[in-house]
Copies of this chain bind each other. A is one copy, B any other.
């Protein structure tokens, strides 16, 4: 795990292209060492996909394990207590970018597989698909899946890239939000202007951009984009109940992230807002003079990065179009607006009636001593939707992260207790799976 965590495989930054290649190579070696009969790196138009497989018995189910070796950027670097790519173990936790998302959790799958191989107990057929573009919305994965339908054929996709409610409150995801993002550039004058000479007669791109962004939400914190909520699925009352039953301590939630008060759509609970309701965030903004002191200018440009988390049955392309149209309608004629979309990941609902889901729930119960709470996860896993759309294969999530893992934040970490319980749970799952599936066939 440590070797993997040392590679700064940040997919969104072009200057880390080489590290991406190094990390893919490392994954290939790890798959081989763990016991795959076949391993191969596939180049795509973006970052490579690493594939591995060990086929044992055609009569047994085939599990396609999915993981990703790319990570989020590390900014702000000065907020890290230890260096993001020099893993350190403190108090039973390993600190590094990617420790929980997803290198550490990928290692759970590899270690469980290695144990099965070493002990000659691999009953199921196992395939691995490890991609390097999850953190940028998996833009080339759809084509890769289409081009390798036969190779990727499986009975289910198994993913460890999510979190549990707590160490003592095991949970299983029953839905994921999707995501889509865009960058927007507002241009006013052709250069930064003296704010004394021109101030009052020239549209200020920062003010215009602020007005555009401010228009995204209504005063009740719901989203003002026309048609935005059109396809939002009303989660069934049974599922809603399960979700609401999951304990939620608002005070500790607030304390964990250092906020005075929570925010959001007034008629929904905080849990609903991050689980079953869509959201729009601005992830970055910049324009004009950014250094110390002041500079009396009307800047020529202002930029923002905007993203939306979407829920079943919203579609990323539709939502991006609606947001873009709305923002454009808010820009006055005095400025030029340029928008660039980033690839989106679709939302996903887990089939809770499938034998695979039951095998997962049972595996957790065996390891943790209690059945999992069912939760709606606010994060995004583009792979689930893609595999179902292209190959008709459903996904099961067995995630072992914890809420304070600092995913995408400084000081990302992974609890080693969860790491070892994770390996045990995956071993249990493989055992349950062959029984369950045989029952159902």
Contacts and interface: CB of A to CB of B under 8 A. Distances in A.
Given A14-B292, A282-B288, A297 B210 contact: no
Contacts of A196: 177, 179, 309, 377-380
Interface in A387-441: 403, 406-411
Contact of A257 (B193, B207, B265, B406): B193
A92 interface: no
A136 B294 contact: yes
Interface in A190-221: 190-204, 206-207, 209-211, 213-217
A34 to B, nearest CB: 29
Interface string A14-36: 10000000000000000000000
B206 A213 contact: yes
Interface residues of A, number: 101
Contact of A259 (B202, B293, B302, B307): B202
A333 B191 contact: no
A235 interface: no
A59 interface: no
A193 B336 contact: no
A281 to B, nearest CB: 5
Contacts of A408: 192-195, 295-297
Number of copies: 2
Overall SS of chain A's interface: loop
A79 B301 CA distance: 13
A334 interface: yes
Contacts of A135: 296
Contacts of A203: 259, 261, 263
Interface string A81-107: 000000000000000000000000000
A378 B286 contact: no
A170 interface: no
B284 A287 contact: yes
B273 A299 contact: no
A137 B295 CA distance: 10
A292 B211 contact: no
Contact of A409 (B183, B192, B273): B192
B207 A216 contact: yes
A248 to B, nearest CB: 10
B12 A293 contact: yes
Contact of A284 (B137, B190, B288): B288
A63 interface: no
A284 to B, nearest CB: 4
A362 interface: no
Contacts of A207: 213-214, 216-217, 281-282
| Nearest 4 Cβ contacts at the A-B interface | A190-B258, A12-B293, A200-B279, A196-B379
9 contacts: A73-B295, A191-B411, A195-B283, A199-B281, A201-B270, A203-B259, A261-B333, A262-B334, A283-B294
